[in-house]
Amino acid sequence: MLKEVVLSVKGIEKSFGPTKVLKEINFSVCKGEVHALVGENGAGKSTLMNIIGGILQADAGEIFIEGEKVEIKNPLDAQKFGIAFVHQEITLCPHVSVAENIFMSAINNSKNLFVSYKKLYKDAADILKQLVSIPTDKKSGELNISDQQIIEIAKALSMDSKIIIFDEPTAALSENEDNALFEIIDKLKKRGIGIIYISHRMEEIFTQCDRISVLRDGCYIGTYNVSESNPKMIINKMVGREIGDMYPQKKYNEEGCETLLEVRNLSDGKRFKNINFKLQRGEILGIAGIVGAGRSEIAQTVCGLRGKQNGEVFYKGKNIDIKSPWDSIRNGILYLTEDRKLEGLFLLMSIKQNISAMVLDSISKRGFVEKKKETECVKRNVVAFNIKCRGIDQNVNSLSGGNQQKILFAKLLNVKPNIIFMDEPTRGIDVGVKSEIHKLLRNLANEGMGIIMISSELPEVIGMCDRVLVIHEGNLSGEVTGSEMSETRIIHLASGLKE
């Protein structure tokens, strides 16, 4: 039986200067439907959602809410028409209460000089009863990420939303937190709210969504029922070509391989303790566990980004003392951060300045950068990493997430490390770029580099890694390899369950 359409857009077009980013887009969402919007980075998803949310204005086309044509000139108009946006980055005010965050928009638009906090807390509690129980007088900055995301959803419900847009809602959540979010989405669906779901994770799209719409290069490719499609078909529609196997063939053989890195009894006194492991030349070693288990902290401590309480690190059998990131770099050990925007890149600087940042010594003479050498180095990397850009002087913040990640890879690999810790190397990037990065990592390993990969995506861990260490609450709870490497086994160890 056909459901009533709550939102439809027809013939939407948008250009930025001479570049046309949306071309005659048609898209609709029904009441009580979870509708996935997918496409590679730069396909136009964010631009379309920003037009629906009133942040941008379309050059052409129409928007209809429950069959009535509307004009959405700003985010306030979008709210009035019942459109809410749950962004990937949390947008709460951390120093005020949960209740104040939920009703922030209503408080700002109110003509009353005083706020009745008693009523505010009661109304907030009534909304949260529909989701989960969270103290309404608690400051939002004291909550974990999943609870903060629930507050974002509660904000949407406080505005009597008919349509909620979820942008990469599980990017920072653990598996248990994912499941809690999915239960809430199911409740919203049963209430008749139309949901637009943006995600790069095919597994959750095919378990949580009813229909999938695909954008490619600013064009609408089509809409498909989940029940009548499969991940491979959708991926091929997104990239416009067959991408083959998602993960490259494993070639690593541990027999006779040199031990590049050995960590003994490493502890930081706060997040993890007594960590022991070895990394062989040519191996991709995975580190798995739920968010907050201590995975990133282990990598950061080995690489001198965090202080250690005790423990030893050996590089090619030699005990090395790493007190800073520069000590780590000098020993050929690098760390690729999970947060490329905050910690990895100079967003307001050019591609050239970012890629050359860590090799200035080799392209400088008497303290001055030799521009010809710098340009040659950067152009070589742009070609090697297939970075899509207008030129090497283009600012990094104007690029898609996938191209930003490639620049971060190029920046670090210019140093020619022997060991690299990859923390969530494919987070928030599309399947096409993800496939490129997977092939790059396997090629680097085949050439003799030792790679340690931290990932929250278990299919990626299993598909890419030769061996996996599992962390539970700061402890090494187990190691899996070969036929033991399954999602069930890794989840079992990550949950701290005993044999």
Average pLDDT, the chain: 88
Q: Are strands 364-365 and 34-38 parallel, antiparallel or unpaired?
A: unpaired
Q: What is the pLDDT of residues 287-339, one digit of tens each?
A: 998 777 899 999 999 999 999 999 999 999 999 999 999 999 999 999 999 88
Q: Provide the pLDDT for residue 412.
A: 93
The residues, ordered by sequence, that sit 6+ positions from 253 with a Cβ below 8 Å of its Cβ are none
Q: Provide the pLDDT for residue 244.
A: 57
Task: Using alpha carbons, select from 91, 165, 171 the residue that is nearest to residue 401.
Answer: 171
Count the neighbouring beta carbons within 10 Å of the beta carbon of residue 264. 15
Q: Tell me the C-alpha to C-alpha distance, in Å, between residue 366 and each of 16, 190, 345, 371.
A: 42, 68, 26, 13
Q: Provide the pLDDT for residue 1.
A: 41
Q: Provide the pLDDT for residue 497.
A: 66
d(CA 108, CA 291): 35
Q: 20: left (phi > 0), else alpha (psi -120 to 50), else beta? A: beta
Fold of 245-332+417-499: Rossmann fold (3.40.50)
Listed by start position, the domains of the chain span 5-239, 245-332+417-499, 347-415
Q: What percent of the chain has pLDDT over 70?
A: 95
Paired tokens of 422: 């990859």
* Same fold? 5-239, 245-332+417-499: yes
Query: What residues in the chain have per-residue pLDDT under 50?
Result: 1
* 409 within 8 A of 242, measured Cβ to Cβ: no
Q: What is the 3-state secondary structure (H, E, C) of the chain?
A: CCCCEEEEEEEEEEEECCEEEEEEEEEEEECCCEEEEECCCCCCHHHHHHHHCCCCCCCEEEEEECCEEECCCCHHHHHHCCEEEECCCCCCCCCCEHHHHHCHHHHHHCCCCCCCHHHHHHHHHHHHCCCCCCCCCCEHHHCCHHHHHHHHHHHHHHCCCCEEEEECCCCCCCHHHHHHHHHHHHHHHHCCCEEEEECCCHHHHHHHCCEEEEEECCEEEEEEEHHHCCHHHHHHHHHCCCCCCCCCCCCCCCCCCCEEEEEEEEECCCCCCCEEEEEECCCEEEEECCCCCCHHHHHHHHCCCCCCCEEEEEECCEEECCCCHHHHHHCCEEEECCCHHHHHCCCCCEHHHHHCHHHHHHHEECCEECHHHHHHHHHHHHHHCCCCCCCCCCEHHHCCHHHHHHHHHHHHHCCCCCEEEEECCCCCCCHHHHHHHHHHHHHHHHCCCEEEEECCCHHHHHHHCCEEEEEECCEEEEEEEHHHCCHHHHHHHHCCCCC
Q: What is the pLDDT of residues 56-78, one digit of tens each?
A: 999 999 999 999 999 999 988 99
DSSP H stretches of helix in 333-370 = 351-355
Q: Given this structure, which CATH class describes domain 5-239?
A: alpha beta
Rounded-to-10 torsion of CA 252, 257, 260, 263:
90
Q: What are phi and psi of 260, to 5 degrees?
A: -80, -40
